[in-house]
Structure 1
Amino acid sequence: MLRAVCDLARAAGLAITQVYNKKVPINIQQKPNDSIVTAADMIAHEIIISGLRVLTPSIPILSEEALLSWEIRKTWEKYWLVDPLDGTKEFIKRNGEFTVNIALIDQGKPVLGVVYAPILSIMYFATQKDAWKEDKGHHTKIYSKKIDPPTIVVSRSHMDSELTRYLTTIGTHQILTIGSSLKFCMVAEGKAQLYLRCGATNIWDTGAGHAIAVAAGAAVSDWQGQELDYVPKKSYLNPGFRVSII
Protein backbone atom coordinates (compact mmCIF):
# COMPACT_ATOMS: atom_id res chain seq x y z
CA MET A 1 0.00 0.00 0.00
CA LEU A 2 2.79 2.44 0.87
CA ARG A 3 4.38 1.97 -2.55
CA ALA A 4 1.03 2.61 -4.25
CA VAL A 5 0.46 5.79 -2.23
CA CYS A 6 3.96 7.00 -3.11
CA ASP A 7 3.10 6.45 -6.78
CA LEU A 8 -0.10 8.49 -6.36
CA ALA A 9 1.83 11.34 -4.74
CA ARG A 10 4.34 11.23 -7.58
CA ALA A 11 1.57 11.36 -10.18
CA ALA A 12 -0.03 14.32 -8.41
CA GLY A 13 3.36 16.02 -8.21
CA LEU A 14 3.87 15.60 -11.95
CA ALA A 15 0.53 17.28 -12.61
CA ILE A 16 1.40 20.11 -10.22
CA THR A 17 4.69 20.58 -12.06
CA GLN A 18 2.80 21.12 -15.31
CA VAL A 19 1.05 24.11 -13.74
CA TYR A 20 4.25 25.29 -12.03
CA ASN A 21 6.06 25.28 -15.39
CA LYS A 22 3.17 27.23 -16.94
CA LYS A 23 2.13 24.44 -19.29
CA VAL A 24 -1.33 24.60 -17.69
CA PRO A 25 -2.96 27.91 -16.56
CA ILE A 26 -2.61 28.42 -12.81
CA ASN A 27 -6.14 29.85 -12.32
CA ILE A 28 -5.71 31.36 -8.82
CA GLN A 29 -8.97 31.68 -6.85
CA GLN A 30 -9.94 32.64 -3.31
CA LYS A 31 -11.99 30.17 -1.27
CA PRO A 32 -14.76 31.23 1.17
CA ASN A 33 -12.31 30.88 4.11
CA ASP A 34 -9.96 33.36 2.33
CA SER A 35 -7.34 30.73 1.56
CA ILE A 36 -6.04 30.40 -2.00
CA VAL A 37 -6.64 27.53 -4.41
CA THR A 38 -5.12 26.98 -7.83
CA ALA A 39 -5.60 24.65 -10.76
CA ALA A 40 -2.67 22.63 -9.39
CA ASP A 41 -4.50 21.97 -6.10
CA MET A 42 -7.60 20.72 -7.90
CA ILE A 43 -5.82 18.57 -10.49
CA ALA A 44 -3.70 16.92 -7.78
CA HIS A 45 -6.82 16.39 -5.67
CA GLU A 46 -8.59 14.53 -8.47
CA ILE A 47 -5.59 12.29 -9.14
CA ILE A 48 -5.16 11.34 -5.48
CA ILE A 49 -8.84 10.83 -4.71
CA SER A 50 -9.40 8.69 -7.79
CA GLY A 51 -6.36 6.59 -6.99
CA LEU A 52 -7.27 6.04 -3.34
CA ARG A 53 -10.80 5.02 -4.25
CA VAL A 54 -9.37 2.26 -6.45
CA LEU A 55 -6.70 1.26 -3.90
CA THR A 56 -8.98 1.12 -0.85
CA PRO A 57 -12.65 1.44 -1.84
CA SER A 58 -13.89 0.96 1.73
CA ILE A 59 -11.76 3.67 3.36
CA PRO A 60 -13.29 7.19 3.30
CA ILE A 61 -11.24 10.21 2.26
CA LEU A 62 -10.99 13.73 3.64
CA SER A 63 -9.20 16.18 1.36
CA GLU A 64 -8.71 19.90 1.83
CA GLU A 65 -10.39 20.34 -1.53
CA ALA A 66 -13.47 18.20 -0.71
CA LEU A 67 -14.51 18.89 2.87
CA LEU A 68 -17.22 16.75 4.40
CA SER A 69 -19.74 17.51 7.11
CA TRP A 70 -19.36 16.39 10.71
CA GLU A 71 -22.40 14.10 10.32
CA ILE A 72 -20.59 12.17 7.61
CA ARG A 73 -17.23 12.00 9.40
CA LYS A 74 -18.13 11.48 13.05
CA THR A 75 -18.11 7.66 13.00
CA TRP A 76 -14.92 7.27 10.98
CA GLU A 77 -12.30 5.08 12.65
CA LYS A 78 -9.98 4.87 9.63
CA TYR A 79 -9.68 7.41 6.83
CA TRP A 80 -7.32 9.01 4.34
CA LEU A 81 -6.29 12.59 5.05
CA VAL A 82 -5.07 14.50 2.00
CA ASP A 83 -3.59 17.89 1.25
CA PRO A 84 -3.11 17.82 -2.53
CA LEU A 85 -0.83 20.87 -2.46
CA ASP A 86 0.52 21.96 0.91
CA GLY A 87 2.20 25.35 0.68
CA THR A 88 0.14 27.06 -2.01
CA LYS A 89 1.81 30.38 -1.12
CA GLU A 90 5.21 28.80 -1.73
CA PHE A 91 3.90 27.39 -5.01
CA ILE A 92 2.80 30.84 -6.15
CA LYS A 93 6.14 32.32 -5.02
CA ARG A 94 7.84 29.60 -7.11
CA ASN A 95 10.40 28.64 -4.46
CA GLY A 96 9.79 24.88 -4.72
CA GLU A 97 8.92 24.46 -1.03
CA PHE A 98 5.51 22.87 -1.43
CA THR A 99 4.42 19.28 -1.05
CA VAL A 100 1.81 16.65 -1.73
CA ASN A 101 0.62 15.18 1.61
CA ILE A 102 -1.20 11.87 2.05
CA ALA A 103 -1.78 10.21 5.44
CA LEU A 104 -3.74 7.19 6.61
CA ILE A 105 -5.43 7.77 9.98
CA ASP A 106 -6.41 4.82 12.16
CA GLN A 107 -8.05 5.29 15.58
CA GLY A 108 -6.93 8.91 15.61
CA LYS A 109 -3.27 8.17 14.81
CA PRO A 110 -1.41 8.69 11.51
CA VAL A 111 -0.14 5.21 10.66
CA LEU A 112 1.16 5.90 7.14
CA GLY A 113 2.42 9.14 5.64
CA VAL A 114 3.82 10.41 2.35
CA VAL A 115 5.21 13.90 1.78
CA TYR A 116 6.43 14.62 -1.75
CA ALA A 117 8.18 17.79 -2.93
CA PRO A 118 8.04 17.48 -6.74
CA ILE A 119 10.26 20.42 -7.66
CA LEU A 120 12.95 19.27 -5.22
CA SER A 121 12.57 15.62 -6.38
CA ILE A 122 12.39 14.52 -2.72
CA MET A 123 9.88 12.15 -1.15
CA TYR A 124 9.53 11.21 2.52
CA PHE A 125 7.39 8.22 3.47
CA ALA A 126 6.71 6.16 6.56
CA THR A 127 4.77 3.39 8.22
CA GLN A 128 4.43 3.24 12.00
CA LYS A 129 7.84 1.55 12.32
CA ASP A 130 10.16 3.12 9.72
CA ALA A 131 10.67 6.39 7.87
CA TRP A 132 12.49 6.82 4.58
CA LYS A 133 13.69 9.54 2.25
CA GLU A 134 13.92 9.22 -1.52
CA ASP A 135 16.21 11.85 -3.03
CA LYS A 136 16.55 11.70 -6.80
CA GLY A 137 15.97 7.96 -6.76
CA HIS A 138 18.20 7.11 -3.79
CA HIS A 139 16.49 5.64 -0.69
CA THR A 140 17.75 6.25 2.83
CA LYS A 141 16.24 5.29 6.16
CA ILE A 142 15.96 8.42 8.31
CA TYR A 143 16.15 9.08 12.05
CA SER A 144 15.75 12.16 14.21
CA LYS A 145 19.01 13.25 15.86
CA LYS A 146 20.07 15.34 18.83
CA ILE A 147 22.54 18.08 17.92
CA ASP A 148 23.87 20.88 20.11
CA PRO A 149 23.24 23.70 19.53
CA PRO A 150 19.88 22.67 18.05
CA THR A 151 18.42 23.88 14.79
CA ILE A 152 14.85 25.13 15.11
CA VAL A 153 12.73 25.05 11.98
CA VAL A 154 9.91 27.57 11.57
CA SER A 155 7.41 28.44 8.89
CA ARG A 156 8.51 30.75 6.11
CA SER A 157 4.98 32.19 5.93
CA HIS A 158 3.80 32.10 9.59
CA MET A 159 6.50 33.67 11.76
CA ASP A 160 4.31 35.47 14.31
CA SER A 161 5.17 37.65 17.31
CA GLU A 162 4.29 34.91 19.82
CA LEU A 163 6.80 32.56 18.26
CA THR A 164 9.42 35.29 18.05
CA ARG A 165 9.03 35.98 21.77
CA TYR A 166 9.28 32.28 22.61
CA LEU A 167 12.51 31.91 20.65
CA THR A 168 14.12 34.56 22.87
CA THR A 169 13.65 32.20 25.86
CA ILE A 170 15.63 29.39 24.24
CA GLY A 171 19.40 29.17 24.62
CA THR A 172 21.85 29.05 21.73
CA HIS A 173 20.21 27.78 18.57
CA GLN A 174 20.05 28.18 14.82
CA ILE A 175 16.93 29.03 12.81
CA LEU A 176 15.91 27.32 9.58
CA THR A 177 12.90 28.67 7.66
CA ILE A 178 11.11 26.49 5.12
CA GLY A 179 7.61 26.04 3.74
CA SER A 180 4.97 23.30 3.90
CA SER A 181 5.30 19.90 5.61
CA LEU A 182 9.00 19.85 4.86
CA LYS A 183 9.44 21.22 8.40
CA PHE A 184 8.28 17.91 9.88
CA CYS A 185 10.65 16.11 7.55
CA MET A 186 13.64 18.25 8.57
CA VAL A 187 13.19 17.03 12.15
CA ALA A 188 12.58 13.47 10.97
CA GLU A 189 15.88 13.31 9.09
CA GLY A 190 17.92 15.06 11.79
CA LYS A 191 18.52 18.35 9.98
CA ALA A 192 16.51 20.14 12.69
CA GLN A 193 15.76 19.26 16.31
CA LEU A 194 12.63 21.32 16.91
CA TYR A 195 9.72 22.60 14.84
CA LEU A 196 7.48 25.11 16.59
CA ARG A 197 4.02 26.30 15.61
CA CYS A 198 2.07 28.65 17.87
CA GLY A 199 -0.99 29.21 15.72
CA ALA A 200 -3.66 26.73 14.72
CA THR A 201 -3.27 24.55 11.63
CA ASN A 202 -5.62 22.33 9.68
CA ILE A 203 -5.36 18.59 10.19
CA TRP A 204 -4.46 17.95 6.54
CA ASP A 205 -1.44 20.23 6.98
CA THR A 206 0.06 17.93 9.62
CA GLY A 207 -1.15 14.33 9.24
CA ALA A 208 1.46 13.03 6.78
CA GLY A 209 4.36 14.94 8.32
CA HIS A 210 3.28 13.75 11.77
CA ALA A 211 3.45 10.11 10.63
CA ILE A 212 6.96 10.58 9.23
CA ALA A 213 8.32 12.46 12.24
CA VAL A 214 7.05 9.88 14.74
CA ALA A 215 8.31 6.94 12.67
CA ALA A 216 11.75 8.60 12.65
CA GLY A 217 11.78 8.88 16.45
CA ALA A 218 10.41 12.39 17.08
CA ALA A 219 7.35 13.48 19.06
CA VAL A 220 4.46 15.64 17.82
CA SER A 221 2.53 17.23 20.68
CA ASP A 222 0.53 20.29 21.60
CA TRP A 223 2.02 22.88 23.96
CA GLN A 224 0.62 20.95 26.94
CA GLY A 225 2.52 17.82 25.91
CA GLN A 226 -0.40 15.82 24.48
CA GLU A 227 0.17 14.12 21.15
CA LEU A 228 -1.89 15.59 18.32
CA ASP A 229 -4.78 13.31 17.43
CA TYR A 230 -6.95 13.02 14.34
CA VAL A 231 -10.12 11.53 15.79
CA PRO A 232 -12.87 13.20 13.73
CA LYS A 233 -14.08 16.44 15.33
CA LYS A 234 -16.44 19.18 14.21
CA SER A 235 -13.47 21.50 13.69
CA TYR A 236 -10.66 20.71 11.27
CA LEU A 237 -8.17 22.69 13.35
CA ASN A 238 -5.16 21.48 15.33
CA PRO A 239 -3.87 23.54 18.26
CA GLY A 240 -0.34 24.94 18.19
CA PHE A 241 2.25 22.19 18.44
CA ARG A 242 5.90 21.16 18.78
CA VAL A 243 7.80 18.55 16.82
CA SER A 244 10.77 17.60 18.97
CA ILE A 245 13.42 14.99 19.61
CA ILE A 246 12.36 12.48 22.27
Structure 2
Amino acid sequence: MDASRRPRPDGAATRARVLDAVVECILKNGYYQASSNAIARHAGVTWGTIQHQFGTREALLLAVVQDRWQRLTRHLGTAAVSGETLEERLAGVMGALETHYGSPEHLAIMQIMLDLAQSPATAESTKRAVETHAAELSQVWHPLLAKALGDAASDEDLVRYAFLTIRGYLSANAMAARLGPQPPDGAVRALLLQGIARAIREHATRTGRAPGPATGSSNSPAGG
Protein backbone atom coordinates (compact mmCIF):
# COMPACT_ATOMS: atom_id res chain seq x y z
CA MET A 1 0.00 0.00 0.00
CA ASP A 2 1.21 3.49 -0.86
CA ALA A 3 2.41 5.25 2.31
CA SER A 4 0.19 8.22 1.55
CA ARG A 5 -2.86 5.94 1.51
CA ARG A 6 -2.21 4.22 4.81
CA PRO A 7 -4.76 5.03 7.52
CA ARG A 8 -3.46 7.54 10.06
CA PRO A 9 -3.12 6.33 13.63
CA ASP A 10 -6.06 7.10 15.89
CA GLY A 11 -4.90 10.23 17.70
CA ALA A 12 -7.32 9.77 20.60
CA ALA A 13 -6.23 6.17 21.13
CA THR A 14 -2.57 7.17 21.02
CA ARG A 15 -3.19 9.97 23.51
CA ALA A 16 -4.97 7.61 25.91
CA ARG A 17 -2.19 5.04 25.59
CA VAL A 18 0.47 7.63 26.37
CA LEU A 19 -1.43 8.95 29.41
CA ASP A 20 -1.78 5.42 30.76
CA ALA A 21 1.90 4.76 30.05
CA VAL A 22 2.93 7.70 32.24
CA VAL A 23 1.09 6.26 35.24
CA GLU A 24 2.30 2.72 34.57
CA CYS A 25 5.93 3.86 34.23
CA ILE A 26 5.81 5.76 37.51
CA LEU A 27 4.35 2.77 39.34
CA LYS A 28 6.80 0.34 37.77
CA ASN A 29 10.03 2.34 37.81
CA GLY A 30 9.48 5.19 40.27
CA TYR A 31 8.69 8.82 39.52
CA TYR A 32 12.21 10.00 38.76
CA GLN A 33 12.96 6.95 36.62
CA ALA A 34 9.90 7.53 34.43
CA SER A 35 11.86 9.43 31.81
CA SER A 36 10.43 10.75 28.59
CA ASN A 37 12.08 7.94 26.65
CA ALA A 38 10.85 5.31 29.11
CA ILE A 39 7.29 6.60 28.76
CA ALA A 40 7.57 6.56 24.96
CA ARG A 41 8.87 2.97 24.97
CA HIS A 42 6.11 1.86 27.33
CA ALA A 43 3.47 3.47 25.12
CA GLY A 44 5.00 1.97 21.98
CA VAL A 45 5.52 5.34 20.32
CA THR A 46 8.39 7.73 19.70
CA TRP A 47 9.10 10.78 21.83
CA GLY A 48 8.42 12.80 18.69
CA THR A 49 4.88 11.44 18.64
CA ILE A 50 4.42 12.46 22.27
CA GLN A 51 5.78 15.93 21.54
CA HIS A 52 3.33 16.26 18.66
CA GLN A 53 0.44 15.34 20.97
CA PHE A 54 1.43 17.23 24.11
CA GLY A 55 4.37 19.53 23.37
CA THR A 56 6.51 19.20 26.49
CA ARG A 57 6.97 16.65 29.27
CA GLU A 58 5.44 19.13 31.70
CA ALA A 59 2.36 19.46 29.50
CA LEU A 60 2.16 15.66 29.31
CA LEU A 61 2.22 15.31 33.09
CA LEU A 62 -0.45 17.99 33.47
CA ALA A 63 -2.58 16.19 30.88
CA VAL A 64 -2.37 13.03 33.00
CA VAL A 65 -3.64 14.94 36.04
CA GLN A 66 -6.47 16.48 34.03
CA ASP A 67 -7.45 13.14 32.50
CA ARG A 68 -7.66 11.41 35.89
CA TRP A 69 -9.52 14.41 37.32
CA GLN A 70 -12.14 14.08 34.59
CA ARG A 71 -12.47 10.35 35.26
CA LEU A 72 -12.93 10.98 38.98
CA THR A 73 -15.51 13.69 38.34
CA ARG A 74 -17.54 11.44 36.04
CA HIS A 75 -17.38 8.50 38.41
CA LEU A 76 -18.38 10.36 41.56
CA GLY A 77 -21.05 12.30 39.72
CA THR A 78 -22.91 9.09 38.89
CA ALA A 79 -22.13 7.07 42.03
CA ALA A 80 -25.21 5.81 43.86
CA VAL A 81 -25.26 5.88 47.67
CA SER A 82 -27.97 3.86 49.40
CA GLY A 83 -28.71 2.28 52.76
CA GLU A 84 -31.07 2.51 55.69
CA THR A 85 -28.35 3.37 58.19
CA LEU A 86 -25.70 6.07 58.15
CA GLU A 87 -23.02 3.39 58.34
CA GLU A 88 -24.37 1.72 55.20
CA ARG A 89 -24.46 4.98 53.30
CA LEU A 90 -20.95 5.89 54.41
CA ALA A 91 -19.81 2.46 53.20
CA GLY A 92 -21.25 3.39 49.81
CA VAL A 93 -19.31 6.65 49.86
CA MET A 94 -16.14 4.79 50.74
CA GLY A 95 -16.71 2.32 47.93
CA ALA A 96 -17.10 5.13 45.42
CA LEU A 97 -14.00 6.96 46.64
CA GLU A 98 -11.97 3.76 46.79
CA THR A 99 -11.89 3.38 43.01
CA HIS A 100 -9.64 6.46 42.94
CA TYR A 101 -8.04 6.98 46.34
CA GLY A 102 -7.56 3.28 47.01
CA SER A 103 -5.84 2.57 43.70
CA PRO A 104 -2.10 2.63 43.00
CA GLU A 105 -2.80 5.22 40.29
CA HIS A 106 -3.69 7.75 42.97
CA LEU A 107 -0.16 7.53 44.35
CA ALA A 108 1.29 8.25 40.91
CA ILE A 109 -1.03 11.22 40.41
CA MET A 110 -0.06 12.63 43.80
CA GLN A 111 3.63 12.43 42.89
CA ILE A 112 2.96 14.28 39.65
CA MET A 113 0.92 17.00 41.36
CA LEU A 114 3.46 17.51 44.14
CA ASP A 115 6.33 17.79 41.66
CA LEU A 116 4.49 20.17 39.35
CA ALA A 117 3.35 22.32 42.26
CA GLN A 118 6.74 22.53 44.00
CA SER A 119 9.38 22.40 41.27
CA PRO A 120 10.93 25.82 40.53
CA ALA A 121 11.16 24.73 36.89
CA THR A 122 7.39 24.40 36.52
CA ALA A 123 5.66 27.12 34.51
CA GLU A 124 3.38 29.39 36.53
CA SER A 125 0.43 28.48 34.31
CA THR A 126 0.95 24.80 35.15
CA LYS A 127 1.18 25.53 38.86
CA ARG A 128 -2.07 27.48 38.68
CA ALA A 129 -3.75 24.57 36.89
CA VAL A 130 -2.66 22.16 39.63
CA GLU A 131 -3.85 24.58 42.32
CA THR A 132 -7.20 24.87 40.55
CA HIS A 133 -7.68 21.11 40.60
CA ALA A 134 -6.93 21.01 44.32
CA ALA A 135 -9.27 23.93 45.03
CA GLU A 136 -12.13 22.38 43.04
CA LEU A 137 -11.84 19.02 44.75
CA SER A 138 -14.65 19.74 47.22
CA GLN A 139 -17.04 20.39 44.34
CA VAL A 140 -16.56 16.76 43.35
CA TRP A 141 -16.88 14.93 46.64
CA HIS A 142 -19.29 17.20 48.53
CA PRO A 143 -22.37 16.09 46.52
CA LEU A 144 -21.38 12.46 47.14
CA LEU A 145 -21.24 12.99 50.91
CA ALA A 146 -24.53 14.89 50.75
CA LYS A 147 -26.22 11.72 49.49
CA ALA A 148 -25.18 10.00 52.71
CA LEU A 149 -25.52 12.82 55.24
CA GLY A 150 -28.64 14.61 54.07
CA ASP A 151 -29.30 17.80 56.06
CA ALA A 152 -26.08 17.30 58.03
CA ALA A 153 -24.14 17.96 54.81
CA SER A 154 -24.90 21.67 55.20
CA ASP A 155 -22.17 21.66 57.86
CA GLU A 156 -18.97 22.05 55.84
CA ASP A 157 -16.72 20.99 58.72
CA LEU A 158 -18.67 17.76 59.12
CA VAL A 159 -18.49 16.89 55.44
CA ARG A 160 -14.79 17.73 55.29
CA TYR A 161 -14.12 15.57 58.36
CA ALA A 162 -15.89 12.57 56.81
CA PHE A 163 -14.10 12.97 53.48
CA LEU A 164 -10.63 13.50 54.92
CA THR A 165 -10.99 10.52 57.27
CA ILE A 166 -12.14 8.19 54.50
CA ARG A 167 -9.56 9.48 52.02
CA GLY A 168 -6.77 9.15 54.56
CA TYR A 169 -7.71 5.54 55.28
CA LEU A 170 -7.89 4.63 51.58
CA SER A 171 -4.65 6.41 50.68
CA ALA A 172 -2.80 4.80 53.58
CA ASN A 173 -4.01 1.37 52.47
CA ALA A 174 -2.92 2.07 48.90
CA MET A 175 0.57 3.02 50.09
CA ALA A 176 0.84 0.00 52.38
CA ALA A 177 -0.23 -2.34 49.57
CA ARG A 178 2.65 -1.06 47.42
CA LEU A 179 5.11 -2.11 50.12
CA GLY A 180 3.83 -5.65 50.54
CA PRO A 181 0.83 -7.93 51.11
CA GLN A 182 -1.61 -6.63 53.70
CA PRO A 183 -3.94 -8.63 55.98
CA PRO A 184 -7.71 -8.41 55.50
CA ASP A 185 -9.02 -5.23 57.08
CA GLY A 186 -12.78 -5.71 57.02
CA ALA A 187 -13.02 -5.30 60.80
CA VAL A 188 -10.91 -2.14 60.76
CA ARG A 189 -13.02 -0.70 57.95
CA ALA A 190 -16.22 -1.38 59.88
CA LEU A 191 -14.79 0.26 63.01
CA LEU A 192 -13.72 3.29 61.00
CA LEU A 193 -17.18 3.74 59.49
CA GLN A 194 -18.81 3.29 62.90
CA GLY A 195 -16.51 5.94 64.36
CA ILE A 196 -17.29 8.41 61.57
CA ALA A 197 -21.02 7.76 61.90
CA ARG A 198 -20.87 8.26 65.67
CA ALA A 199 -19.02 11.55 65.32
CA ILE A 200 -21.50 12.75 62.72
CA ARG A 201 -24.50 11.84 64.88
CA GLU A 202 -23.06 13.55 67.94
CA HIS A 203 -22.20 16.69 65.99
CA ALA A 204 -25.57 16.68 64.22
CA THR A 205 -27.38 16.38 67.55
CA ARG A 206 -25.58 19.45 68.87
CA THR A 207 -26.33 21.48 65.74
CA GLY A 208 -29.81 20.17 64.98
CA ARG A 209 -28.92 18.76 61.55
CA ALA A 210 -30.20 15.23 61.02
CA PRO A 211 -27.78 12.85 59.23
CA GLY A 212 -30.33 11.24 56.91
CA PRO A 213 -30.11 10.36 53.21
CA ALA A 214 -30.54 13.17 50.73
CA THR A 215 -34.07 13.28 49.35
CA GLY A 216 -34.41 11.39 46.08
CA SER A 217 -30.76 10.35 45.84
CA SER A 218 -30.42 7.29 48.02
CA ASN A 219 -31.24 4.76 45.33
CA SER A 220 -30.37 6.46 42.06
CA PRO A 221 -27.27 8.02 40.53
CA ALA A 222 -26.97 11.75 40.55
CA GLY A 223 -28.42 13.32 37.47
CA GLY A 224 -30.08 10.06 36.42
TM range (shorter): under 0.3
More strand by share: 1
More helix by share: 2
Q: TM-score, normalised by structure 1?
A: 0.25
